[in-house]
Amino acid sequence: MASQLVIVYHRQPYEEVVEGGRTVLRENRSPNGIVPALKGFIGRVDSASWIAWKKAPAGRPAQFERRLRVDDSYGSYEVVRLPLQAEQISQFYHVTSKEALWPVLNSFPSLYSSENTQWATFREVNRLFAQAACEEAAQGAVVWVHDYNLWLVPRFVREQRPDLKIAFFHHTPFPGPDVFNMLPWRDEILDNLLSCDLVGFHIPRYACNFVAVAQGLRAVRDVRWKAAATGLSAHGSALAEPRSPVSLRVASRRVHIDAFPIGTHASWISQTMGEAPAQEEVAQIRASVGDCKLIVSVGRVDYAKGTRELLLCYERLLRRRPQWQGKVQLLLTAVAPAEGMRVYRRAQQAIEQLVGRINGHFGSLAWHPVVLSTTPMSFRQSLAQYRAADICWVTPLRDGLNLVAKEFVAAHDARGGVLVLSEFAGAAVELEDAVLVNPYSISQMDAAIDRALDMPQQEQAARMQRMQQHVARYDIAHWTHHVLHWFDLLRGAAQSAPSRGATAAAGTSPFEESPCAI
């Protein structure tokens, strides 16, 4: 059966586990994260397909079914699994995506390397994704492509199936022209994005950067703008933008542009934290740290996550304010990279060395300043840590959004708790009541953790309550409603009205016209 919505994302929409010597598919245990967020659309359309990849043996037929029919709590849908060999996976994901594209996306040009990149392989893998999407899509369907490692899918889809509507969503930052234009494949990437009907980003800054790249490399006309939406315009922070692009015209096509951050499953998180098992786990965590102020930081090993800078700041804290020795503890989760991700090895070594140095210098038999975990926790365990913590420390050097910040807010008691958040995380333009900090500044980092530790309870409660109201209002259901409205517009099921933005020219963004607009 042809599908009205085809989701193209590199990960499979379930977990594969081995039980009794057999591989079985298990629904994601947590409703949070990219995969569950995208699966939330499956039950909202008549028919859906999901395109992903799965490792296949070299030189032999794939030892798995390429097509599956999945029925789970999200609905019934098709999963098409592309058999990729180890070398294709390495080039597509570990080398090209992580060594060449990732440093540029996150504005670390000095770490960019194309030495081992085989762009033809990356292009071919994207072509395979596009071909599978075209085979699944019904006439006039929406093909929804996700993230930068599938940048080359849209043009292949447009060439094979001009009847389809193509939407693209970036979960990452999008850099300005001076950084993006380093890429030797910049023209091919841009032409693919300009082949879309809709290009989406989390926040206005990334959308503005995209328009600036397009204006520099192509004869772009009639760029339409609107005022940045309330709740996405935190003035004075690093990623703030007073306005956001709505669309642009290139050749005979109009490309729509959207800036709308994904939300978290706030109601589910709040409900879960009110249940007895969660409360017992929170109590156990609090008992384990005694009278210490508890700081949590959750992420993965990645130079862009700023974990090294966080640890150096924590070390300075213990030197500057020795009264906190034995009175504060940092629970740090830095999930080790998957096998083959050599680009992150140095970052992991730096984290482990710093933790060892801090614990060795300041620690005792009774107190470990840092408790490090390099294995992923379950989502419920993470929520328990968020609820138990006095402070959540989220200071990436660059991040597309950062859902950890929103999860901490949703999980916490409204009577207190402090979020220390990097200005360079997309969520900073939403969560103005966090302690916002420039993670590149030693003095600002020191001042931010001091402020978090010393903040009066009344101020903590006021800030937390305002952040919880925002996270609850603009949750995952709100984001889903917004995106579905876009799909209706793309298919012509709804008519857009003139923009009420900063420019008098007409716009076509459901960000303004839909009931879900911020």
**333-376: pLDDT as tens digits:** 999 887 767 778 889 999 999 999 999 999 999 999 999 999 98
- Domain co-membership, 27 together with 145: yes
Confirm whether 224 is domain-assigned.
yes
- Domain co-membership, 208 together with 351: no
pLDDT at 28 over 90: no
**What's the CA gap between 200 and 211, in Å, rounded?**
12
- Domain co-membership, 331 together with 428: yes
- Domain co-membership, 303 together with 223: no
- Say if residue 440 is exposed, middle or buried (CB neighbours under 10 Å; 0-12, 13-18, 19+): middle
Confirm whether 32 is domain-assigned.
yes
Confirm whether 110 is domain-assigned.
yes
Confirm whether 219 is domain-assigned.
yes
- Domain co-membership, 203 together with 320: no
Give buried/exposed letters for 16-48 (b at 16+ CB in 10 A, else e): eeeeeeeeeeeebebbbbebbbbbbbbeebebb
Q: What is the pLDDT of residue 495?
A: 41
pLDDT at 38 over 50: yes
Do 421 and 428 contact (CB within 8 A), yes or no? yes
**219-231: pLDDT as tens digits:** 999 999 999 877 7
- Domain co-membership, 134 together with 271: no
Q: Which of 157, 201, 198 shows the shortest CA–CA distance to 175? A: 201
Confirm whether 170 is domain-assigned.
yes
- Domain co-membership, 495 together with 451: no
Q: What is the pLDDT of residue 509?
A: 45
**Tokens linked to 357:** 């140095």
Q: Which domain holds residue 149?
A: 3-263+488-513
Q: What is the CATH number of the domain that holds 233?
A: 3.40.50.2000
Q: With cut-offs at 50, 70 and 90, classify the pLDDT of residue 1.
A: low
- Domain co-membership, 272 together with 251: no
pLDDT at 515 over 60: no
- Domain co-membership, 237 together with 282: no
- pLDDT exceeding 90 applies to what percent of the chain? 82
- Domain co-membership, 259 together with 276: no
**What's the CA gap between 190 and 27, in Å, rounded?**
35
pLDDT at 512 over 90: no
- Cβ-based neighbours of 466, under 8 Å, separated by 6 or more: 433
- The DSSP H or E segment spanning 103 is helix 102-105
Q: What is the pLDDT of residue 493?
A: 52
Confirm whether 478 is domain-assigned.
no
pLDDT at 440 over 90: yes
- Mean pLDDT, all residues of the chain: 91
Q: What is the pLDDT of residue 233?
A: 62
**4-24: pLDDT as tens digits:** 999 999 999 998 887 887 877
pLDDT at 415 over 50: yes
Secondary structure in 3-state letters for 8-23: ECCCCCCEEEEECCEE
Confirm whether 483 is domain-assigned.
no
Q: With cut-offs at 50, 70 and 90, classify the pLDDT of residue 514.
A: very low
Q: Which of 171, 228, 235 shows the shortest CA–CA distance to 436? A: 235
**What's the CA gap between 495 and 125, in Å, rounded?**
36
Confirm whether 197 is domain-assigned.
yes
- Domain co-membership, 183 together with 323: no
Do 234 and 205 contact (CB within 8 A), yes or no? no
* DSSP classification of residue 399: B
- Domain co-membership, 218 together with 363: no
Do 169 and 193 contact (CB within 8 A), yes or no? no
Counting the structural domains of the chain, the total is 2
